[in-house]
Structure 1
């Protein structure tokens, strides 16, 4: 929602401003992801926490590989409009992981209520 507000703001019509919106959104999703990840590690039993830790390490490798693949894709394009598109791709990868971890945390909270 904050990303859409930022992108829809007429003051953010430039490529650099739209890219800044994407960077800010990615950072916000990264904070959410890390908060959910930390809460899960503190809540899960040791074995499950270890599995989550392994999954997160694998996800980090995926994130980095996806960024490289995106960079290769966008390197084939010309024009400034692709810069915020590349930023949007990075944002979506982190957003999806944040939402996934938050959903896992909600599952743990079902019986705790």
Structure 2
């Protein structure tokens, strides 16, 4: 296997397993691990505390997404950077529309359990985009 093929394999596998991360890109699982630890604390057993844990994770994923996006824009030029901008704007529209649809659905439900369920869905949307952008950043690092 060539060095380049080996590096590509490591980059792609790193998206699905939790390796020791280098190059300033966080493990895809670090924020999830922090969220699970927060939710597992006995003091965070209430619905309100669970939603607070999820809000912190949501902010962390959003920060990761924005950092990866900015790093990609710095590394890409011309048409590639513009396509990324167009894709990110489209994703933001999707995220907002998906959030509104979720709010409408959960507005038809009664009970506090629906707050953390809604929050988990919101987090998943941003988490997935952060991981995609971080993976693209790792791919750009293959030839470094």
TM-score bracket for this pair, using the shorter chain length? over 0.9
Q: Could you say which residue in structure 1 is the equivalent of 2:70?
A: 38
User: Structure 1 residue runs of 4+, over 4 Å off?
Assistant: none
Aligned residues, how many? 112
Alignment RMSD, CA only?
Answer: 0.6
Residue 111 of structure 2 aligns to a residue whose secondary structure is coil
| Superposed displacement of residue 103, structure 1 | 0.4
Tell me if 1:87 matches 2:119.
Answer: yes
Select the residue among 135, 139, 144 that pairs with 1:103. 135
Give the number of the structure whose residues are more often helix, by fraction.
1
TM-score by length of 1: 0.97
CA drift at 1:72: 1.0
C-alpha distance in 1 between matches for 2:102 and 2:54: 15
Distance in 2 separating the partners of 1:42 and 1:30: 18
Q: Distance in 1 between matches of 2:82 and 2:50?
A: 38
Per-residue deviation, 1:69: 0.7
The answer on 1:23 being equivalent to 2:55 is: yes
Q: Structure 2 unaligned runs (5+)?
A: 1-32
Unmatched segments (≥5 aa) in structure 1: none
82, 86, 92: which one pairs with 1:54? Answer: 86
Name the residue aligned to 2:4.
none
